[in-house]
Structure formats: structure tokens, C-alpha cells
Amino acid sequence: MIAVIDYGRGNLYSLSHALSHIGVDHAVSERPEDIRAAAAIVLPGVGAFADAMDALADRELVTPLRDAASQGIPLLGICLGMQILAAKSEEFGARDGLGIIPGLVRALPEPFTQGGIRIPNMGWRRLDKHRNDPLCKGLSDNIMTYFVHSYGFFAEDDSIVATSDVNGLAVPAIVRQEQVVGCQFHPEKSGPVGLQMLRNFFAEVGVTGTK
């Protein structure tokens, strides 16, 4: 089973529609037992870091998610879902995350020149790939994806697959630690490129969509 985690902080309709579009069977769930039984997990998210962690804790999902990652279950975090993979966040005060991928979530830099990117960073941005990764298989080096965020997950260098420039700072856009992958952008809103990334993620874990 592919489990899409519903903890009240994700744009589930767009994500579920994208997965159905590429023919990936999945179940939207907030139950810990579904995480434990999942062949792969998708963790979406929008909003504030602390609210997301509280929502996961309220549903008793924190430990099952950590256990799944430690057991090598493939996990894809999207937007805020990527950020809460981090050890800590500075958003509205220090707060612990899931601690699955080392790193810190902190505010994006404000523009220092006219014409810079206003925060929140919203829109289509180019990805700068740092290394090859199965998530980007079959995609060119000049790809655009859709972002909406005010904070970034600044992971350790060996976890960073791709970045996106925000006012002169290379902000991690894709991170990976073994079978755990995070996308700061929304693949489900990134057109054919995003759909191909979703196909690639599921193909890597042995789940082939029908479309």
C-alpha cells in the first residue's frame, strides 16, 4: 500500500489527483497502522512547522514515521512535509522536527535589490542539480518547478540533490538520505516535470504506475 499521510496540513486533493493521473494506487490515511503497513509513504504539508509537528503528534504519527524511515521504507516529503524531516526549525521559535535528515529550517532571505524574489517565494523557479538522482531520471538539466514557501530546509551538503536560487542563496530544493526524499517544491503542481518525478520515485521503490 502507498500511504498518503493526512494530518490536516496538506493539499491532499491535488496530490491524490496527481497520483491517480499517473496510475499509482494509494490510500489517504491518518492511521498509525497504515504507516506501519505501507510499502511507501508520501508526507505532504502546507503551513507552519510547529503546527505540523503538533498535528502529527496528536494523531500519534511521529514515532511510526521515524520508525518507517529507520526501517528503510521509502518516504517522500513535499513542501512542509520536506521541512519536518529536519532535526530542528527556527520558525516562530526553536522546535524539533522528525529528525530523519540532519539540517535546520530557517527563514529565506529577503530581496536586497529591486527585482529580487519577494518572500514568500511563490512561483516557478529553476532547479540547479548538484548530483544525479533517480528522482530526476529522464529530465533535462534546465527544469522549472513550482514553489510556495517562506522557510527553507538547509540540510547537510551530502544530502542535497538540487537547489534553487532565492535572492542569491542556494536553497535546497531536493534532499535525499537513502530512501527518504524531500521536495521543497510541489511536484503535483509542477506540470509534466513534477509528474515525471513522482513516476520516478515510485518506480525506484518498485511501484509502477499505469500511466
| pLDDT tens-digit series, residues 33-81 | 999 999 999 999 999 999 999 999 999 999 999 999 999 999 999 999 9
At the top level of CATH, the class of 2-204 is: alpha beta
Euclidean distance between CA atoms 166 and 116, whole angstroms = 8
Residues involved in catalysis: 79, 186, 188
Euclidean distance between CA atoms 128 and 140, whole angstroms = 11
Pick the closest to residue 171 from 122, 111, 105 (CA basis): 105
Q: Where are the domains of the chain?
A: 2-204
This prediction's pTM: 0.96
Any residues with CB less than 8 A from the CB of 186 and at least 6 apart, and which?
11, 14, 78, 79, 145, 146, 147, 148, 194
Q: Give the CA angle between residues 169, 174, 179 to the nearest 5°.
A: 150
Q: Are 40 and 75 in contact (CB under 8 A)?
A: yes
- Widest CA span of the chain, in angstroms? 51
Whether omega for the bond prior to residue 32 falls within 30 degrees of 0, making it cis, is no
Q: What is the pLDDT along the chain (211 residues), one digit of tens a residue?
A: 899 999 998 889 999 999 999 999 999 999 999 999 999 999 999 999 999 999 999 999 999 999 999 999 999 999 999 999 999 999 999 999 999 999 999 999 999 877 899 999 999 999 999 999 999 999 998 899 999 999 999 999 999 999 999 999 999 999 999 999 999 999 999 999 999 999 999 999 887 665 6
